[in-house]
Amino acid sequence: MPGRAVYMDLQSIKNRFAIIGNAPALNYALQVAVQVANTDLTVLINGESGVGKEVFSNIIHTLSSRKHNPFIAVNCGAIPEGTIDSELFGHEKGSFTGAVDARKGYFETVNGGTIFLDEIGEMPLGTQARLLRVLEAGEYIRVGSSKVQKTDVRVIAATNKDLLLLVQQGKFREDLYYRLSTVPIRVPALHDRPEDIHLLFRKFAADFSDKYKAAPVQLDEEAKNLLISYPWPGNVRELKNIAEQISVLSQDKNITARELKKFLQPYSGNRLPVLAHGGANGQTDFSNEREILYKLFFDMKKDVTELKRMFLDILQNPNMVAQNQHIINELKEMKSSDFMQPVLMPSPVQSNMPATVQNVPVSIGMPNEIHDHVEVEESLNIMDKEKELIVKALKKHRGKRKDAALDLGISERTLYRKLKEYDIEE
């Protein structure tokens, strides 16, 4: 009975690592993790925030031949760009301001073990190039040194972002993406495993009942249905938090749907990104919202450009003119002002977006005449723009790196690294 043997193995893994659930997607992800554990293959774990990606990295390391060697988890998004190279690869004394002593990096201290690089999509491009060398040749160089050192470290990476989209945007190296994703593991989101939601809630409720010496909460049928239908944008982490809140704050331990609604966050049914709430300092992080706005504007510009090309093709091809005569007639009847209607962003009452992007009119214009040429769009590659700005700053300040760095708003050390990265001659 090989099928039964596999099920028993997976069940023992779940018991060992406190994993609750029987969803097929979860079982498949666990099966891949078990099969790949006793190899040295690089693994890329994909999944939304809060699904438990670090648990899978622990499973892979614990079941591998490296289990008696060090394991370290590094959150790439939590380390500043200026220090991440030092953290990973180490540095020599005096290599930068504050480097009073030489320091070993994680790839040196974890030699023979496993390093888990969480939020790999946040890693700077320069560091990505150095990581690629480690993966391909097992070599690295400390910051401020010219000596090549060897390391034998297994890399497990994780991300909640679409790395292929980041590759297209010039924010992630394509060669590193394919090197990392030798074995991809997709950890399913909680809304993709509805059969596990109530099981998890009961487990969390029982744990908090023991922790706080209180009676365990019970959900009626309507509350169970509400629990399962809620989209859980924060995944297992959010479900655990809700279970703890209910265990502590509910006077009546028999929870109805009406009572449960008090603990669930309002959400948009289409699961579009929502604005983040302000932090401890009262400020709000709008970086994601800006990216969404910029993408919206670029998409609109692209649509207009495609429309221009379509009209040009129609005018140049008599057959297409006949086929699309009804469209041309409709457009002739429209006023030119109809093409210039502003698209207003939501008002402050409707949105928490920054004042700089509220009520911004975006005119989607059409030309009065269709010319014989098609507009060539300007490159929007971030790396190209960054290189262009650096060259302009150096030219402006006649090659003086310190002044150019000050003008660009970066450190002189970062500017020096960018000059090497983009192969810019001073």
Instruction: Report all structural domains of the chain as residue ranges with CATH numbers, in order of start.
Output: 2-188 (3.40.50.300), 192-261 (1.10.8.60), 287-363 (no CATH), 382-422 (1.10.10)
The answer to whether 221 and 186 have CB atoms below 8 angstroms apart is no
| Average pLDDT value for residue range 249-275 | 76
Residue 366 pLDDT > 50: no
> What are the backbone angles phi and psi of residue 170, rounded to the nearest 5°?
75, 20
How far separated are the first and last CA of the chain, in Å rounded?
70
The string of DSSP codes covering 56-122 is HHHHHHHTSTTTTS-EEEEEGGGS-TTTHHHHHH-B-TTSSTT--S-B--HHHHTTTSEEEEETGGG
The torsion angle over the Cα atoms of residues 398, 401, 404 and 408, rounded to 10 degrees, is 150
Q: Which residue has the higher pLDDT, 369 or 403?
A: 403
The answer to whether 72 and 117 have CB atoms below 8 angstroms apart is no
Residue 126's alpha-carbon distances to 42, 101, 155, 371, in angstroms, are 20, 23, 18, 43
Residue 6 pLDDT > 60: no
| Size (the chain), residues | 426
Give which of 184, 255, 198 is closest to 232, Cα–Cα: 198
| Average pLDDT value for residue range 274-294 | 46
**Would you tell me how many other CB atoms lie within 10 Å of the CB of residue 257?**
15
Residue 404: CA count within 13 A, CB half-sphere: 23
> What are the backbone angles phi and psi of residue 364, rounded to the nearest 5°?
-100, 95
Residue 151 pLDDT > 60: yes
343 Cβ neighbours under 8 A, 6+ residues apart: 300, 361, 362, 363, 364
Give which of 50, 67, 37 is closest to 156, Cα–Cα: 37
Give which of 339, 348, 239 is closest to 21, Cα–Cα: 239
Residue 193 pLDDT > 90: yes
The string of DSSP codes covering 406-423 is HHHTS-HHHHHHHHHHHT
Residue 361: CA count within 13 A, CB half-sphere: 5
CA distance linking residue 392 with residue 398, whole number of Å: 10
The answer to whether 141 and 89 have CB atoms below 8 angstroms apart is yes
Q: What would the two tokens of residue 256 be?
A: 């109805």
* Contacts for 178-181: CB closer than 8 Å, 24+ residues apart: 179/42, 179/132, 179/135, 179/136, 180/42, 180/44, 180/120, 180/135, 180/155, 181/42, 181/44
pLDDT of residue 186: 97
Q: What is the pLDDT of residues 371-408, one digit of tens each?
A: 444 444 555 567 777 888 888 888 888 888 888 888 88
**Would you tell me how many other CB atoms lie within 10 Å of the CB of residue 345?**
16
CA distance linking residue 307 with residue 86, whole number of Å: 50
pTM for this predicted structure = 0.61
pLDDT of residue 227: 95
pLDDT above 90 covers what percent of the chain? 54
CA distance linking residue 392 with residue 355, whole number of Å: 31
Residue 274 pLDDT > 80: no
Give which of 80, 53, 57 is closest to 67, Cα–Cα: 57
**For helices 412-422 and 401-408, what crossing angle results, to 10°?**
100
pLDDT band at 7 (very low <50, low <70, confident <90, very high): very low
Q: What is the pLDDT of residues 18-27, one digit of tens each?
A: 999 999 999 9
Q: Which residue has the higher pLDDT, 323 or 339?
A: 323
| Average pLDDT value for residue range 342-360 | 44
Q: Which range among 28-37, 109-118, 234-243, 270-279 shows the weakest confidence by mean pLDDT?
A: 270-279
CA distance linking residue 393 with residue 419, whole number of Å: 12
Alpha-helix residue ranges (DSSP H) falling in 213-255: 221-229, 235-249
pLDDT of residue 309: 66
| Average pLDDT value for residue range 286-313 | 59
pLDDT above 70 covers what percent of the chain? 71
* Contacts for 137-142: CB closer than 8 Å, 24+ residues apart: 140/88, 140/89, 140/105, 140/107, 141/89, 142/89, 142/90, 142/91, 142/92, 142/95, 142/102, 142/105
pLDDT of residue 381: 65
Ramachandran assignment for 187, one of left (phi > 0), alpha (psi -120 to 50 degrees), beta (any other): beta
Q: Which residue has the higher pLDDT, 389 or 72?
A: 72
In terms of average pLDDT, the best of 94-98, 134-138, 384-388, 422-426 is 134-138
